[in-house]
Structure 1
């Protein structure tokens, strides 16, 4: 049963400190995103080895993301977030000491990969808190604020702050500094969410029943066609986000003459754009319909603006503001996928935790497939070919949304037959 939640523009006030905790944690987690691949190359490894490290990380993140929704319901979201927080700290330290400092590629893969299991447990368990404490018709806007906090952390501060200090203290010290932010977010979450109530009906299940409920996160992909289609769309959703962070520094800094601080600030602008539009699209999804928003502003928008993010700096050269325009447009269209988080539990209302797990699995698989596609294609078609591959997949996502059947509260039917009439 949902709590009577006071809110401001869809932001649940009783969860405010939880949102701040997500922001702090993801700021620390995002410090490395826009420069680590290039740094791994600089310490002696090939671009393919660098992208493969991100691929391993993404695969581990996908596994943890898949399990996080149901784990959060089985052991409580607070415990799941605590486990994720502690794992991140431990394996980040091991990754720094034995991987990067020693320039040991096998330890880089091992500890960075295991660390990839940590952040999804912390991040996505908070979605379970939202779903159980916010009225269904407000979940879309509450998730918009969730992704705004995520983007402000991992993208804006997580990219902009390193751009200011990286030339002064170096990459390794920036990565050590990330621990401060992660610890602040983790400890704040432990304190602020301690007394927040969530559904407890799964806590009383037997061990066998708990494993059965966890397996539902896989079986839903077979038993619910709409969940399966939405899963593929969610995977495609953030291909440009995770992929461009890896391949674009090679273009911007390597070929076009931008400095590393310039690139980090451009990437921060991308995320700042997603913050504004995460909130905007979350609110608008209640009025325009989630699928309509995802289909036209998300899928088609990303297909077009992924190409413009590449071509604008290629055509105009190292012009910061032109590149920033491309980043802003891509960020706005990426944010249009924000209703996906609310769509999954709405498609499977009897098993919301399992539905959230499928959504999280899809998000994690996006973290895996984005660098995997880059790893496979980069040696043959270069950065340009990878960008075109991402754009084509957004067109595929557009087509898949036409076959998702969904009726949204306070909006009306959105099925294959009616989608065309309202789109």
Structure 2
């Protein structure tokens, strides 16, 4: 009780103040990690590789991200969030340097895949270890709000700064200079988390009191916990959550420029604007979800909202042409809808309160699979159809998620005033 009372007295709109520097660290780290998202596939093609080869590099990376996402929650519980975050940012730097020097600079396709894929271990272990840290430190009845702050900082990093910074740096230092510069943000975020986050919950680890057999058993619980049908349903819904977020960037930039008549800069600004919106909507939905009910919010504003806004990303430019401001309204709707899933981060540990790390691991695996399957769906559907077909596939999947929410039963902690 003492920990909860202390945390309740040191929070602002659900933000645990003892973790505030950790939230800042996530934003800075994800700035470095997200810098290449808008141009890497294009740059790989520019140096002589095919679109298919560029997609393979990103898909391999996404697969490793999914696996690392799954392991991160349990490993954070076994070794402590602070230790795993430290391991993650060092790993990121080492293999990013390998990716640049052994892969891109030498145009070595195999080394590009190997180094970039291994680098994919780092970012989920850094940010999702912090998710475990939040579940330890935030009051249960404020957990969705605390997660809302987390996703807001994530959006600041990967979406806003990560999307906009390259538009300023590439004209001056080029693609490679921008990629080298990302190391500064990774190092800053990692050191910030290591030295400035004073919350002692991040020091807690199970490894000192577990045998090797018990430690592996704890890690395996990250799979066996799926025998809980509610966790399994939540897993599927969390995968559905960000399919469009990761999928649209795989094919819509070309659709926007070649079919609808936007410039590449306009597309990047619209997509970046969507991420700006999510900074506020992540906070908004975190607080609102604690009030109106997590599942209800996900069902109506998340699943239905994403189905409609995903369709709008195609139909509005199709109907109105390259109208920047009207399309920005679609970006706003999309930003509201994708953030409505924020309570998913709170639902998993609530479903398995005795095994929070394992529950968070399944949440993270789901997020990683979303990262992997989002562009994967686009790749497969585009072999047989066109962009409009792909958009409708995403929309139908969100309607399936809507149906699944009626089978998800969560005992949401009441908000104590």
- 2:113 corresponds in structure 1 to 109
Is the 2:18–2:198 contact (alpha carbons within 8 Å) kept by the matching residues of 1? no
Query: Which one of 163, 170, 174 corresponds to residue 174 of structure 2?
Result: 170
* Alignment pair present for 1:321 and 2:304: no
Spell out the pairing of 1:10-29 with structure 2 (5 A cutoff): 10-29=14-33
Query: Which one of 232, 254, 257 corresponds to residue 250 of structure 1?
Result: 254
Task: For 1:373 and 1:360, locate their aligned partners in 2 and report how far apart those are by CA, in whole Å.
Answer: 19
Secondary structure at the counterpart of residue 406 of structure 1 = coil
Query: Which one of 197, 206, 212 corresponds to residue 217 of structure 2?
Result: 212
Q: Displacement of 1:289 after TM fit?
A: 0.4
- 1:91 corresponds in structure 2 to 95
- Per-residue CA deviations over 1:202-260 (Å, capped at 9, x if unaligned) read 541111111101101100112x0000000001011011111122222222234433333
Is the 1:52–1:371 contact (alpha carbons within 8 Å) kept by the matching residues of 2? no
Q: Displacement of 1:296 after TM fit?
A: 0.5
- 2:195 corresponds in structure 1 to 191
Aligned length: 411
- 2:339 corresponds in structure 1 to 335
Is the 1:51–1:372 contact (alpha carbons within 8 Å) kept by the matching residues of 2? no
- 1:364 corresponds in structure 2 to 368
- Per-residue CA deviations over 1:80-135 (Å, capped at 9, x if unaligned) read 00111011111111111222222222222111111111101101000111111111
- Mind listing any 5+ residue stretches in structure 1 that lack a counterpart? 412-423
Instruction: Provide the alpha-carbon RMSD of the alignment.
Output: 1.7
* Alignment pair present for 1:182 and 2:177: no
Query: Which one of 80, 83, 87 corresponds to residue 79 of structure 1?
Result: 83
Relative to 1, partners in 2 of residues 1:48 and 1:383: Cα closer, same or farther, differing over 3 Å? farther
Task: For 1:22 and 1:236, locate their aligned partners in 2 and report how far apart those are by CA, in whole Å.
Answer: 23
- 1:66 corresponds in structure 2 to 70
- Mind listing any 5+ residue stretches in structure 2 that lack a counterpart? none
Of stretches 121-130 and 156-165 in structure 1, the one that deviates more from structure 2 is 156-165
- 1:273 corresponds in structure 2 to 277
Q: Displacement of 1:33 after TM fit?
A: 1.2
Query: Which one of 304, 307, 314 corresponds to residue 303 of structure 1?
Result: 307
Spell out the pairing of 1:151-170 with structure 2 (5 A cutoff): 151-170=155-174
Query: Which one of 93, 98, 119 corresponds to residue 123 of structure 2?
Result: 119
TM-score using structure 2 length = 0.95
Secondary structure at the counterpart of residue 349 of structure 1 = coil
* Alignment pair present for 1:221 and 2:226: yes
TM-score using structure 1 length = 0.93
* Alignment pair present for 1:237 and 2:253: no
Secondary structure at the counterpart of residue 354 of structure 2 = helix
Relative to 1, partners in 2 of residues 1:93 and 1:242: Cα closer, same or farther, differing over 3 Å? same
